[in-house]
Amino acid sequence: MSNIKFTNIHKSFGSNKIINNFNLQGKEDEFLVLVGPSGCGKSTLLRMIAGLEQIDQGEIYINDQLVNELHPSKRETAMVFQSYALYPHMNVFENMSFGLKIEKRPKEEIEKKVMQAAKILKIEELLERRPKQLSGGQRQRVAIGRAITRNPKIFLFDEPLSNLDAALRAEMRVEISKLHNQIKTNMIYVTHDQVEAMTLADRIVILNHGNIEQVGTPDEIYSDPANIFVAQFIGTPKMNILKLSSDHIISTNEINFLGNKVKLDKLNFSNKDYYLGIRPEHFNVSENNEYNFNPKVDLIENLGNEKIAYIKIDQHEISAKISSKHNIDNTIGFNSKDIFVFDENGKRIKS
């Protein structure tokens, strides 16, 4: 059992503020994913946990132990890098055992731990090969195996799959998820890929410019976004956001939206600007919709089992994701329960 806690973490590089007052209480043995656009500070946080980057202000605790001044080798963390970082002149066994040899562990213990890790990752037959003889996925397994042999309290993954092709990334996501279920320890995973975040995480931390935008389970992040940034960051294609001016407000709970008079119960619109959001997958071709409209389709992307239509209506450009079984020649519809409302600052207004 292990956990991590961040208290008032700040980090700057010169005048460039990277992390701004980061506070988070981890849970025991959870898979925590840090996600956000490039430059938001997620890799910097990971390096501060590992002790590879100095903290300007604040405290990091691992199992209630303050680790700010603790040497990286004493933190009982293991990091898996994007670049694999394998020694080219060593074979797989030597790469996986290198950290244990540095720690002067007994030969029998080293062999036992390497073989256990190799069995978990299904790379026993690769132990005599050198990195140049391995595929990208095999190299990543070796890098993960090297971390497993350390028996760390916390695994740190820094965009480990970004160098792999799409098919191999999907395969390795499954392997990492199985690994977490098998060894039951904390994993903190950095990525900018929302698919990895949604499929791997127990909880997701969405970062933007060094600030936490939202923390929650994948379902919470998707179904209950805190603001427009989160709403558009999670989901492919991103959520449609349409500005609603006072001219579109009919009454305190009725608006003109996509050619319909839409009633949103429990909301109280006033004479100011709002933003309405609806996910592309919440449009559908059905007779059971509350509201329908006639689309002017500019482009259709056929993805096999589904297609994405890019539509113009009322000077708005929106995208709709529907099954390939349906055509979008006539009408397309939506339901009021699928509409998100945000205030003029982009914060979610809940009904």
Whether 322 and 330 have beta carbons less than 8 Å apart is answered as: no
| pLDDT for res 351 | 67
Domain over 4-225 is classified CATH 3.90.245.10: no
Where do the domains of the chain lie?
A: 4-225, 240-349
Which of 3.40.50.720, 2.40.50.140, 3.50.7.10, 3.40.30.120 is the CATH number of 240-349?
Answer: 2.40.50.140
List the pLDDT tens digit at each of the 351 positions of the chain. Answer: 678 999 999 999 998 999 999 999 999 999 999 999 988 999 999 999 999 999 999 999 999 999 999 999 889 899 988 888 899 999 999 999 998 898 889 999 999 999 988 988 889 999 999 999 998 888 988 998 898 888 888 999 999 888 888 888 888 888 889 889 888 889 999 998 889 999 999 999 999 999 999 999 999 999 999 999 999 999 989 999 998 887 788 888 888 888 889 888 767 777 778 899 999 999 988 778 899 988 888 899 998 889 999 998 877 889 999 888 887 777 889 999 999 999 999 999 886
The DSSP symbol for 272 reads S
Non-local CB neighbours of 84 within 8 Å, separated by 6+ positions: 131, 139, 140, 142, 143, 163
Q: What angle do CA 260, 263, 266 make, to 5 degrees?
A: 160
The DSSP symbol for 1 reads -
Q: Give per-residue burial for 246-280: e unless 16+ CB within 10 Å, then b.
A: eebbeeeebbebbebebebeebebeeeebbbbbbb
| pLDDT for res 1 | 60
CA atoms of 141 and 351, how far apart (whole Å): 46
